[in-house]
Amino acid sequence: MTPLRYRAPYRKQKRRLTPASTLAALTVAAVLALHAGGASAAEQTLATVVVEASAAQEIGIAESATEGAVTAKDLENRPLSRTGELLEAVPGVIVTQHSGDGKANQYFARGFNLDHGTDFRTTVLGMPVNMPTHAHGQGYTDLGFVIPELIGTIRYRKGPYYADVGDFAAVGSAAIDYVPSLDRGLLKIEAGQHGYKRTLLANSAAIGSGSLLYAIDATGQDGPWDNPERFRRFNGVLSYSVRSGMDSVRTVAMASQSSWNATDQVPLRALQAGLVGRYGAIDPSDGGNTARFSVSTQWERRYRDGALKVNAYLVQSRFELFSNFTYALDDPVNGDQFSQSERRVVAGVDTQRTWQHRLAGLDMETTIGLQTRQDKLSPVALYATVDRRRLATIREDHVTERSMGFFLTNTTQWTPRLRTIAGVRTDTYQFDVASAIPANSGRVNSSITSPKFSAVFAARPDTELYLNWGRGFHSNDARGVTGTVDPRTGAGIDSHGDPIQPATPLVKALGTELGVRHAGLIPGLDTSLSIWRLDLASELVFSGDAGTTEASRPSHRQGIEVASRYATHAGWIVDASLAWSHARFANNDSAGQYIPGALERTASIGIGGESGRWSGGLRVRYFGGRALTEDNAVRSSPSTLVNAKVGYALTRTVKLTAEVLNLLGSDASDIDYYYASRLRSEQSAVTDIHTHPAEPRSLRLGMVVRM
């Protein structure tokens, strides 16, 4: 295949693997100032051309200043408390938890409290992770099935400027890919405080003309909680990759299963009165269990003028979560615990064809694609419970949600310095709900068209300027789209509740961005700066906790992001980022203009690498304060967490590691909410801050054996 090339010195090498991102060399002083002020194998399969590159070679490749990739080398010495924190490798993203470790994390980026994933799209080996019409929240993104040691790259892109991603990608997207094989087998054994333990066995072998990769991962811990978490998770991966001539095929089977007890957020008044300790629970019977099984196949055929890619996947999952956030507000006798439950089968096929060609003397690359997906839930339900025993059915629905997206993208090299990327995407959805409440049954069809445009100007061989504009969207929960009565206000599924307005099926987003990327100031230092804005037609989402649709107002967000990555000659990597966001509701209301939970400022800096027998990593993360009410009268406090990791190679095949999480012992909160609840000792509802603490300083020791 002849790649699309830019005339020297502005050359673009066509590759599937976007190299490591440009991130900014900020200092710890910047983080503290904000606080005070308020080795894996290179990707081999499914590649057009594999090119090992430094972050500087994003120039000529990237379409925006906030596009890039994180490699296995970036992740190797990165301390991690939870698997979901892998997404914090994306500049400006914050990952927290307000419940048990088996539940999806809470994500924040670009002025958004993304809940469990709405408006940030994540895929693993081409399979979508975001779950629409999920029992607990729209776009629910649980990364617990991912094995970090198998990751080859995390490719990320911010904003709704890319035609090949649709639902949930208004804020951004991340694509996680595994390596097809390991240079050497891996046995990792870890143990630590609070009952933490983990064992990983991974290896690969040549079979026939391909490579078989397998991994088994078992993790457990009790955590610092007064009510032991008893978290248990088992992950398994079996992958076979083969390349024959111009064809590459990879088939992957995955299995994951988790169970846990949960310590959810508690009201501040209960902590201050000594009714519960910092790591105590109001309802110790909260918790859950999940399972996920999948099989996927990625096939690529390369041609002289481009490539054809096909990705097919089948996912079966189950989910059951028991939560009690208001304690005895609605039911003083039995309490307010509820169960959210679903059984789901997801099937999808994505196909795209790329051509590299010339038209009117101009170099071009054109891609067309078709993406189809079906989610079948049998059922998705909400139950009133006590001590995990069902008392009543609030709602029970059988849902089939189908979507089809067609996209077209064209890249044109107008001059040696100027290229444009123009695209359009059309998505069609069908929401089909059979509810136990007949008034909430129905079928709704909806479609949306999203144009995109980017212009890239190479001001110098080491500097590019970017202009991005695009429309995006997120879908709403099918139950909200067809719902006409509130299931919580009736006496059961056979009674009538209060009338509600059906949700808008597809909510529009409009984004713009100006950016610059520079890679020439210091050898190995790559820096990007972006100024962005994102408008949402409505903050309307389906609330899985309440079982109803909650409408809010149109909103706009704008901000600045600076990011940098510095690769030293000694092989160490320093990366850092700063992000400022301004989020407000777009229309006037006496309640106020602030968006509760909206992220305002974040910063991070980290270093990792190896020197002789020693290796290690250190990360500092600043999570800024946030408005918890629309009038900004109640705010959360900012926090700074420091995590560290160090390793020592006893031999060429054996390494010892030590990881210290929350190194400074910060008494920070992982997350804060402000709402009404009622303890059993109280006579009426009390509106209060409800908080979930970050875990205390903890030590984990490990041994890594390369086989």
CATH number of the domain to which 175 belongs: 2.40.170.20
pLDDT of amino acid 571: 86
Instruction: Give the model confidence (pLDDT) of 564-580 as tens digits.
Output: 999 988 889 999 999 99
Which pLDDT band holds residue 491 (cuts at 50, 70, 90)?
low
Q: What percent of the chain has pLDDT over 70?
A: 89
Instruction: Give the model confidence (pLDDT) of 427-459 as tens digits.
Output: 999 999 999 999 999 999 999 999 999 999 999
User: H or E stretch including 479?
Assistant: helix 478-482
Distance CA 272, CA 689 (A): 12
Give domain status of residue 10, yes or no: no
- The answer, yes or no, to whether residue 40 has pLDDT greater than 60, is no
Identify the CA nearest to 138 among candidates 383, 450, 481, 624: 481
Distance CA 344, CA 429 (A): 18
pLDDT of amino acid 149: 97
- The sign of the CA dihedral 543, 625, 110, 157 is negative
CB 240 within 8 A of CB 209: no
Give domain status of residue 192, yes or no: yes
Q: What percent of the chain has pLDDT over 90?
A: 83
Greatest alpha-carbon span in the chain: 79
Stretch 214-225: mean pLDDT, rounded? 97
Distance CA 126, CA 310 (A): 10
Stretch 613-618: mean pLDDT, rounded? 97
Distance CA 489, CA 478 (A): 20
β-strands 362-386, 389-413 pairing: antiparallel
Instruction: Give the model confidence (pLDDT) of 629-658 as tens digits.
Output: 999 999 999 999 999 999 999 999 999 999
The number of beta carbons lying within 10 Å of the beta carbon of residue 676 is 13
Backbone phi and psi for residue 266, each to the nearest 5 degrees, phi listed first: -125, 155
pLDDT of amino acid 487: 85
Which pLDDT band holds residue 53 (cuts at 50, 70, 90)?
very low
β-strands 120-124, 555-567 pairing: unpaired
Which pLDDT band holds residue 12 (cuts at 50, 70, 90)?
very low
Exposure class string for 546-573: b at 16+ Cβ within 10 A, else e = ebbbeeebebbbbbebbbbbbbeeeebb
**What are the structure tokens assigned to 223, written together?**
């955590």
**What are the structure tokens assigned to 605, written together?**
């800096």
Identify the CA nearest to 380 among candidates 411, 362, 401, 353: 401
- The answer, yes or no, to whether residue 348 has pLDDT greater than 90, is yes
Instruction: Give the model confidence (pLDDT) of 238-285 as tens digits.
Output: 999 999 999 999 999 999 999 999 999 999 999 999 999 999 999 999
Per the rule left: phi > 0, alpha: psi between -120 and 50, beta: everything else, 441 is: beta
pLDDT of amino acid 551: 64
**What are the structure tokens assigned to 610, written together?**
């190896």
pLDDT of amino acid 29: 35
CB 647 within 8 A of CB 671: no
Omega before 693 cis (within 30°)? no
pLDDT of amino acid 679: 96
pLDDT of amino acid 497: 78
CB 190 within 8 A of CB 219: no
- Measured between alpha carbons, how far is residue 72 from residues 149, 156, 158, 174, 652 in Å? 8, 14, 21, 15, 19
State CA 241 to chain mean position distance: 26
Give domain status of residue 3, yes or no: no
Q: What angle do CA 21, 565, 511 make, to 5 degrees?
A: 45
Instruction: Give the model confidence (pLDDT) of 525-559 as tens digits.
Output: 999 999 999 999 987 554 545 544 566 789 999 99
- Measured between alpha carbons, how far is residue 381 from residues 16, 378, 548 in Å? 41, 9, 12
pLDDT of amino acid 438: 92
- The answer, yes or no, to whether residue 707 has pLDDT greater than 70, is yes
- The answer, yes or no, to whether residue 34 has pLDDT greater than 50, is no
Distance CA 275, CA 228 (A): 18
Residue 23: partners with Cβ closer than 8 Å, 6 or more residues away: 55, 68, 91, 526, 527, 528, 563, 564, 565, 575, 576, 577
Mean pLDDT of the chain: 89
CB 208 within 8 A of CB 243: no
Give domain status of residue 199, yes or no: yes
For residue 58, give the 3-state DSSP assignment.
Answer: helix
For residue 414, give the 3-state DSSP assignment.
Answer: coil
Give domain status of residue 185, yes or no: yes
The number of beta carbons lying within 10 Å of the beta carbon of residue 146 is 23
Backbone phi and psi for residue 627, each to the nearest 5 degrees, phi listed first: -70, 135
β-strands 686-693, 186-192 pairing: unpaired
Q: Which residue has the higher pLDDT, 13 or 592?
A: 592
Give domain status of residue 17, yes or no: no
Which pLDDT band holds residue 20 (cuts at 50, 70, 90)?
very low
State CA 370 to chain mean position distance: 23
β-strands 120-124, 172-178 pairing: parallel
Identify the CA nearest to 706 among candidates 184, 73, 150: 184
**What are the structure tokens assigned to 529, written together?**
């700066």
For residue 50, give the 3-state DSSP assignment.
Answer: coil
In sequence order, the β-bridge partners of residue 381 are: 341, 396
Q: How many domains does the chain have?
A: 1
Stretch 596-624: mean pLDDT, rounded? 96
Which residue segment(s) compose the domain that 165 sits in? 28-706
Distance CA 34, CA 554 (A): 29
Give domain status of residue 89, yes or no: yes
Give domain status of residue 9, yes or no: no
- The answer, yes or no, to whether residue 6 has pLDDT greater than 90, is no
- The answer, yes or no, to whether residue 27 has pLDDT greater than 50, is no
Q: Find where tokens 């990952």 sit.
A: 95
For residue 409, give the 3-state DSSP assignment.
Answer: strand
- The answer, yes or no, to whether residue 594 has pLDDT greater than 90, is yes
User: H or E stretch including 268?
Assistant: helix 268-272
**pTM for this predicted structure:** 0.91
For residue 193, give the 3-state DSSP assignment.
Answer: helix
Distance CA 113, CA 536 (A): 14
User: If you write DSSP's letter for every residue of 308-364 in order, what string do you get?
Assistant: EEEEEEEEEEEEEEEE-SSBTSS-TTT-S-EEEEEEEEEEEEEEEEEEEEEETTEEE
Residue 296: partners with Cβ closer than 8 Å, 6 or more residues away: 125, 126, 127, 251, 252, 311, 312, 313, 314
pLDDT of amino acid 495: 60
CB 436 within 8 A of CB 396: yes
Which pLDDT band holds residue 496 (cuts at 50, 70, 90)?
low
Which pLDDT band holds residue 591 (cuts at 50, 70, 90)?
confident
SS3 percent helix, strand, coil of the chain, rounded to 5, is 5, 55, 40
CB 173 within 8 A of CB 63: no
Omega before 19 cis (within 30°)? no
pLDDT of amino acid 540: 59
User: H or E stretch including 261?
Assistant: strand 247-261
Distance CA 581, CA 601 (A): 6
Q: Find where tokens 């693993």 sit.
A: 124
Q: Which residue has the higher pLDDT, 6 or 656?
A: 656
Stretch 394-410: mean pLDDT, rounded? 97
Instruction: Give the model confidence (pLDDT) of 188-208 as tens digits.
Output: 999 999 999 999 999 999 999
- The answer, yes or no, to whether residue 41 has pLDDT greater than 60, is no
Stretch 492-496: mean pLDDT, rounded? 59
Distance CA 561, CA 109 (A): 11
Stretch 87-103: mean pLDDT, rounded? 94
Distance CA 620, CA 265 (A): 24
Residue 213: partners with Cβ closer than 8 Å, 6 or more residues away: 150, 178, 179, 180, 181, 182, 202, 203, 204, 237, 238, 239, 240, 241
